[in-house]
Structure 1
Amino acid sequence: MPIDTPVDMRPSIVTRKQGTNRYSQQTTPKKRKPTDERDNIKKRQKEGITIAKAKGKHLGCPRIEQQQTTLETLYSKWKAEEITAVHFM
């Protein structure tokens, strides 16, 4: 085809039958909904929690009894000036 052929006479990427760009599906990424991404995050999170429970890992905040004993131990050491206030915090 000669170079001086008008643009609309040249073959294009757009197929005449379908009226769509045949390369667009290959070059553009699949569009996802924000809810799809959130669902994937929740699914992965649930899998991680299940694995952690199976391994016996502790999930969540420490128990109050555990915090209370730690506090009492450190408080008595701080009052006796065995540790500093910074270490106590």
Structure 2
Amino acid sequence: MDIAALIKTIVTPLVTHPDAIVIASHETSEYMAFDLTVAADDVGRVIGKQGRVAQAIRTIVYAVKSPYAKRIRLNILDAPQTASEAN
């Protein structure tokens, strides 16, 4: 199971800018970490009220049988601001 593809499949219907979804992976000593970045105005949709949507996404991702020997970690990151958004 490709974890990044699973994350993208779950997140795509939640956001208004699906082309802005970026998933990067890196390995730490304890986890195989996946960093999810979405458009700035979609962050609230992915996190949800009181983090409920984010927790549901993590529950699904963590429950999938992983091809990695380490535990999976999903980080939802703020989108970097462009120069036009900062002004």
TM-score (norm 2): 0.24
Structure with greater helix share of residues: 1
Give 1 or 2 for the bigger CA radius of gyration.
1
User: Larger relative CO (CA 8 A, sep 6+): 1 or 2?
Assistant: 2
Q: Which structure carries more strand by proportion? A: 2
TM-score, reference length from structure 1 = 0.23
